[in-house]
Structure 1
């Protein structure tokens, strides 16, 4: 199982989200920035995580089902997207960063990259 390095620090938490309130970027190709891990925690319902080998890939190299009470971890710079498998799904995301690195950007853009190239 993928683990967040013990020395990484919690930098940000999103509010709890559902299909109406989740940013659309989460459902499209995006990645966490360098030196940042994302941990998606499912409170209710089910989320499917699709990991991709690069920004241009259309076929996932990883598919993970994350059910209520569980979480999935996305490593730094791993291109991915999610899909909510149940209408009642709600979740949040916590971000953990290398304390030696100064992250640039604001809000979710500080830890998530939606730009290809």
Structure 2
């Protein structure tokens, strides 16, 4: 499992989302600001399960990484990675925390991702 670098700083958390409240784009292949260099998203599942599908690039037809994150567990996703998620049940509840390497914050000249 990918680990968040030891000195990374927690910069923000999303609300707890379900299938109705999550941003629709999260369920389509994307490369979002949360996955830029030095930013590590950590998806935590409170109820149900989430499938993460990671892709080599924007156009590759099939995922090269698939993870199932079950209730009570979390997974850390690599920076700069095309991906999307799928909810495995209608009652799934999850959130995402973002951790940033200090060098990225220093370089960006700001205090959060």
Question: Which bin holds the TM-score, normalised by the shorter protein?
Answer: 0.7 to 0.9
- Give the ranges of 4+ consecutive aligned residues of structure 1 lying more than 4 Å apart after TM superposition: none
| 1:46-94 per-position Cα deviation (integer Å, ceiling 9, x unaligned) | 1000010112222100111110000111111011100001000000000
**Structure 1 residue runs without a partner (length 5+):** 105-109, 112-117
Would you say 1:70 and 2:69 are equivalent positions? no
**Structure 2 residue runs without a partner (length 5+):** none
Q: Which residue of 2 aligns with 1:42?
A: 45
**TM-score normalised according to structure 1 size:** 0.85
Q: What is the distance in 1 between the residues matched to 2:102 and 2:58?
A: 26
Number of residue pairs matched by the alignment: 106
Q: Which residue of 1 aligns with 2:9?
A: 9
Aligned counterpart for 1:86 among listed residues 73, 86, 89: 89
The structure that is helix-richer by fraction is 2
- Give the superposition deviation at 1:30: 1.6
**TM-score normalised according to structure 2 size:** 0.88
Q: What is the distance in 2 between the residues matched to 1:23 and 1:58?
A: 23
Q: Which residue of 2 aligns with 1:19?
A: 19
RMSD: 1.5
What SS does structure 1 have at the residue aligned with 2:26?
helix
